[in-house]
A and B are shown apart, each in its own frame.
Chain A
Amino acid sequence: MSSEYRGVDFYAIDDLLTEEQRLVRDTVRDFVSEQVCPIIAEHARAGTFPHDLTPKMGEINVFGANLPEEYGCAGLDNISYGLIMQELERGDSGVRSFASVQGALVMYPIFKFGTEAQKRKWLPQLAKGSAIGCFGLTEPDHGSDPAGMTTRATRKGAGWVVHGNKMWITNGTLADVAVVWAQTEDGIQGFLLEKGMKGFSAPEMKGKLSLRASVTSELVMDHVEVPEENRLPNVKGLKGPLSCLTQARYGIAWGAVGAAQGVFDEAVNYAKSRIQFGKPIASFQLNQRKFADMVTEITKAQLVVWRLGKLKDDGKMTPQQVSLAKRNNVKIALDAARTCREILGANGILDEYTAMRHAANLESVHTYEGTYEIHTLVLGAAVTGIDAYR
């Protein structure tokens, strides 16, 4: 199969990829062209997640694709993993969010901090998409400052009682397993809450104008009894959830490049065929300036994530480097989506085109997983050695 869409490659970045990485990229690109693009606008309009995609994505192994094969995952390198996120987000940020949460925020902590029994129980199912996961960190009163969380887990007999509320939880309502972070007498710890546990519910949040093809939920935990075997034993403190976020942000930095390439491709094609004043609107200097700026920013963003992937594969990547990539790439993608919307004129506001949907989606991506401002402060602290937000 081949798709019409070719992405943007002004700097022959393809030459930096291995044959295997290009195959991964092309496979997911075709999958997105055939399975996501034709149906996604309708789901965004209806405010529904395309459930049919879950087993299909599982079948081609996109979930937790950089985790090892012994747990049912593909065992890919991190650039391949990034390319998967890039292509998924070209389809829709909601679809990429689903995969990010499943892989980086649920499978990763179980793999990294879980017991062998937890890994054997959950990872193969999550990889296949026969089980869905969510990640509960944010609370109604604790967003950028998760250390202040009030959800608590207290010991009761051999197990635990988890009590509190989480908010803005992607996949919450769908999830079979929720990785919930709670205060304990030993600092913050992670627990695996399972669908159907007494006192645990996850109502969907409504009224979103962004990521409409993604489910976002509250987690309500009313004295939920959780057995000790559901505690993630191998991490304590905020570094647990933060290390997951580093994984997810890494994927987001790649994903944003996909969204930017998608809207850019659409706008270039549109501008070459739309005639005003007797000429294609692509011939006007004001539009060409926009394309020149966008192709420059997309190229820079591509090089940033490629290098970041190399660092990650070499075990040298720092969270601050991830902050730079997430902050920059989401910002340039959001700017590109708005600019492309503008180039499409009135058509740009229709959901027949992708620019407005991507622009609206990227508003969430700009805010979640550390807001633009928080990453600015992370970089400021990295440069000056002075924390400005604590």
Chain B
Amino acid sequence: MNFVACVKRVPDTASKIRVGPDGRTMDPAGVTYVVNPYDEFAVEECLRLKEKVGGTVTVLTVGPADSSKELRHCLAMGADRAVLVKDDQLQRDPLSTAMALAEALKQIPHDVVFFGKQAVDHDNAQVGLLVATLLDLPAVAEVVKVELGSGTATVQREAEGKIEVFELPVPCVLTAQKGLNEPRYASLKGIMAAKSKKLDELAVAPGEVRIEVLKMEPPSARPEGKIVGEGAAAVPALVKLLREDAKVL
């Protein structure tokens, strides 16, 4: 089976995000990048499925040339091949990204296309499902368990107070939720092996960007908290404030 994990590089969570001089994009100075954590679940799941049923795992990204580091990380985890669709555009909307990925996927054999449920930079949570729509493939978002049958995938997703179980035909699109698996570390041997694996560049016409970011600004500083006192003696005052000021009780 052909597994494709679509991954995105995102600023790591320790990076301090600053707005760039244009007031519309992030200042890249001092930012380090990692594979989007939800996408790492997707890569891990593809690797596990491949280990069970055989096949190949391809990782695919749309991003700047520097994304090769994140692709190498996925190759070091065990993916067989990486494909980079080079894109230096600073602003991109989910649909234009999805169009580029869909075009690329037309040239990459795929039975299961896995995404993270969202990228932790912009948190749009759209791209996986948009790609499914563009390719006219069935999709389930936020899966926490996957089993492959003959020509089908049975998947679970957690919904409010229940677990939903779906069966869908392959090829299909899935997006990964936390809890799906525990991603492996890239082993050091894997890093060495990744050097000789193929990292191909694919040129596809990117989709048109139709959503424009007009302004980016840091969140306003939070108002200072209030300390009403210490220990049990402070409880009545706290209850009063919660009732009368915050009106949450």
**A6 in the interface (beta carbon within 8 A):** yes
A74 close to B188 (CB less than 8 A) = yes
Question: Contact string, B28-49, partner A, CB cutoff 8 A, digits 1/0?
Answer: 0000101001001000000000
B side interface size, CB within 8 A: 22
Given contacts A1-B40, A2-B34, contact A80 B188 (CB under 8 A): yes
Question: Contact string, A72-109, partner B, CB cutoff 8 A, digits 1/0?
Answer: 00111000100010000000000000000000000000
Cα(A6)–Cα(B33), bound, Å: 12
**A119 in the interface (beta carbon within 8 A):** no
- Interface size band for A: 20 to 34
B73 close to A23 (CB less than 8 A) = yes
Question: Contact string, B49-86, partner A, CB cutoff 8 A, digits 1/0?
Answer: 00000000000000000001100110010000000000
**Cβ 8 A contact of B188, one of A4, A30, A61:** A61
Cα(A60)–Cα(B190), bound, Å: 9
A19 close to B68 (CB less than 8 A) = yes
B13 nearest in chain A by CB position: A2
A2 close to B14 (CB less than 8 A) = yes
Q: Which of B1-44 contact A (CB under 8 A)?
A: 12-14, 32, 34, 37, 40
B195 close to A61 (CB less than 8 A) = no
**Cβ 8 A contact of A65, one of B13, B186, B188:** B188
**B166 in the interface (beta carbon within 8 A):** no
Cα(A76)–Cα(B191), bound, Å: 9
A27 close to B191 (CB less than 8 A) = yes
Q: Which residues of A contact B189 (CB under 8 A)?
A: 61, 69, 74-75
**B183 in the interface (beta carbon within 8 A):** yes
Cα(A27)–Cα(B68), bound, Å: 16
**Cβ 8 A contact of A23, one of B12, B40, B191:** B191
Most buried by B among A1, A3, A4, A24: A1
Cα(A147)–Cα(B33), bound, Å: 51
A3 close to B40 (CB less than 8 A) = no
Cα(A19)–Cα(B194), bound, Å: 11
Q: Which residues of B contact A5 (CB under 8 A)?
A: 14
Given contacts A1-B40, A2-B34, contact A24 B191 (CB under 8 A): yes
B14 close to A23 (CB less than 8 A) = no
**Cβ 8 A contact of A31, one of B12, B37, B185, B192:** B185
**B133 in the interface (beta carbon within 8 A):** no
**Cβ 8 A contact of B76, one of A2, A27, A75:** A27
B42 to A: closest C-beta gap in Å: 14
B12 close to A2 (CB less than 8 A) = yes
**10 A-B pairs whose Cβ atoms sit less than 8 Å apart in the complex:** A19-B68, A26-B73, A27-B185, A30-B185, A31-B185, A59-B187, A74-B187, A74-B192, A76-B192, A84-B188
